[in-house]
């Protein structure tokens, strides 16, 4: 039996479970009629649900309210069919006036956060579309604005919707209007396409054709699903997406809200999604009453007893805390980057001298080498030559003698040893000669 937790007695295990759900990488949500009760739409099986209301109003026709949603009973007579159309019209008006609840907004937040893989709903109220989710509708044409391909659809109605009416004979579909005016197409009306074809044949002198009646595009008990292959393809796609996970952190999550799991198709859906990758997928069932027994061992990990809206509110509060921490971390990181940028701007850059187009550090090393005694001696000899007026040839001989008398070992020079080009100005009495010969520091 899955581990059972209660929202009314929170503990460390429940807090950790909420944390794991809040950081999930991908989430699949399976919902039932329980999430729409607070929106003003009755469920089916509770003491005040739709089945009990129908039984109280039409106990002479049906033994159970479920019979009015059983295809083998509804269309058995014209009287039961009329009661079915009446209740479908009443339910359509309730759905048109209802607004999305807290759970619908929670699923929309999952989509906005980019973690919603898919939302499967057993409901026929169409509140997912009002919440802003893209809904897969097989009855909408490709050119319609409401048409959404299943690859990009965020919500899949498992049992159809109340948005359209379909002819039981020719399968033509029309919009199900909730307005009680005469021009609106309502449930139980004759199909306009069938009427047109029959009138054309009668005008040509042929016999008339049968005319079908319009019924809501919802799936009843004991009838095949008209789009079961398409839905099976979507479920297989999502199961493969969950099965490709190899890392256990963060986990993928399957959330089951507000359903008793009595419909066989819904049970198979939850089993397939939960067992696609049991090691990396966390399955959580949230409902007011315990539903999962021993048959769900190894499939459902946690069964949380409590209000689904309270559960969603706790996860949203956890998201708020995580968002504040993320914003604080981003602010701190941006502040550190600004400080490092300002410190890098304050660093002095290497200044290049205009005279020699070399860095100051190199000029400083050259200056240190020029202060060496041997270099000073050579400079002083040059100056004395130019001041006493000695001829150029005699000055050259004198310098050669001084070089031969100096020690052969080079004087110590600051690293790095870089060549220096300087111009020697040799002055004579008669003319001036500029010799641009390279002179190294180590002579």
Active site residues: 159
Cα 117 from Cα 94, distance rounded (Å): 29
Residues 6+ apart with CB under 8 A from 308: 34, 35, 103, 257, 258, 286, 287, 288
Other beta carbons within 10 angstroms of residue 202's beta carbon come to: 12
**Could you give the 3-state DSSP secondary structure of residue 89?**
helix
d(CA 153, CA 117): 9
First to last CA, the chain: 96
Main-chain dihedrals φ then ψ at residue 235, nearest 5 degrees: -65, -40
Interaxial angle between packed helices 264-274 and 228-243, expressed in degrees from 0 to 180 and rounded to the nearest 10: 20
The rounded distance, in Å, linking the Cα atoms of 138 and 132 is 18
Non-local (6+) Cβ contacts of 364 within 8 A are: none
Measured between alpha carbons, how far is residue 43 from residues 36, 40, 49, 284 in Å? 8, 10, 5, 22
Could you please report the per-residue DSSP string of 360-427? Answer: HHHHHHHHHHHTSHHHHHHHHHHHHHHHHT--HHHHHHHHHHHHHHS-SSPPP-PSS-------EEEE
Which class for 66: exposed (0-12), middle (13-18), buried (19 or more C-beta within 10 A)? middle
Taking alpha carbons only, the member of 56, 59, 84 closest to residue 69 is 84
- What angle in degrees, to the nearest 10, is found between the helix axes of 102-112 and 308-346? 30
User: What dihedral do alpha carbons 79, 81, 85, 88 form, nearest 10°?
Assistant: 120
Beta carbons within 8 Å of 305's beta carbon, 6+ residues apart:
4, 5, 6, 7, 8, 287, 288, 289, 290
Q: What tokens were used for 29?
A: 């949500």
238 phi/psi in degrees, rounded to 5: -70, -35
């Amino acid at each position: 039996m899955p581990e059972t937790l209660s929202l009314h007695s929170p503990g460390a295990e429940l807090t950790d479970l909420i944390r794991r759900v809040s950081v999930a990488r991908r989430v699949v949500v399976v919902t039932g009629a329980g999430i729409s009760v607070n929106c003003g739409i009755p469920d089916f099986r509770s003491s005040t649900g739709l089945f009990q209301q129908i039984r109280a109003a039409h106990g002479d026709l049906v033994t159970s309210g479920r019979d009015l949603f059983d295809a083998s009973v509804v269309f058995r007579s014209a009287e039961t069919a009329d009661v079915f159309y009446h209740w479908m019209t009443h339910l359509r008006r309730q759905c048109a006036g209802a607004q999305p609840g807290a759970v619908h907004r929670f699923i929309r937040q999952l989509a906005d956060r980019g973690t919603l893989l898919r939302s499967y709903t057993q409901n026929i109220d169409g509140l997912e579309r009002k919440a802003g989710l893209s809904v897969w509708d097989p009855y909408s044409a490709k050119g319609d604005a409401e048409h959404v391909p299943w690859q990009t659809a965020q919500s899949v109605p498992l049992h159809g919707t109340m948005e359209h009416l379909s002819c039981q004979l020719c399968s033509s579909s029309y919009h199900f209007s909730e307005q009680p005016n005469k021009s609106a197409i309502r449930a139980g009306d004759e199909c306009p396409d069938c009427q047109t074809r029959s009138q054309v044949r009668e005008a040509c002198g042929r016999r008339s054709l049968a005319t079908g009646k319009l019924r809501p595009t919802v799936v009843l008990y004991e009838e095949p699903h008209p789009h079961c292959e398409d839905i099976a393809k979507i479920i297989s796609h999502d199961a493969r997406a969950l099965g490709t996970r190899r890392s256990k952190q963060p986990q993928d999550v399957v959330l089951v809200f507000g359903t008793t799991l009595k419909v066989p198709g819904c049970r198979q859906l939850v089993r397939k999604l939960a067992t696609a990758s049991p090691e990396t997928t966390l399955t959580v069932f949230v409902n007011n009453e315990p539903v999962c027994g021993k048959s769900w061992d190894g499939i459902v990990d946690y069964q949380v007893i409590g209000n689904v809206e309270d559960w969603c509110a706790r996860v949203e509060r956890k998201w708020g805390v995580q968002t504040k921490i993320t914003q604080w971390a981003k602010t701190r990181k941006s502040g550190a980057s600004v400080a490092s940028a300002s410190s890098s701007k304050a660093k002095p850059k290497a200044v290049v001298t205009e005279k020699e187009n070399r860095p100051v550090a190199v000029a400083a090393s050259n200056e240190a080498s020029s202060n060496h005694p041997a270099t000073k001696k050579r400079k002083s000899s040059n100056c004395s030559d130019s001041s006493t007026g000695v001829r150029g040839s005699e000055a050259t001989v004198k310098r050669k003698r001084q070089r031969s008398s100096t020690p052969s070992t080079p004087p110590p020079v600051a690293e790095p040893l870089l060549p220096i080009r300087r111009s020697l100005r040799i002055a004579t009495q008669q003319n001036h000669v500029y010799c641009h010969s390279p002179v190294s520091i180590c002579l």
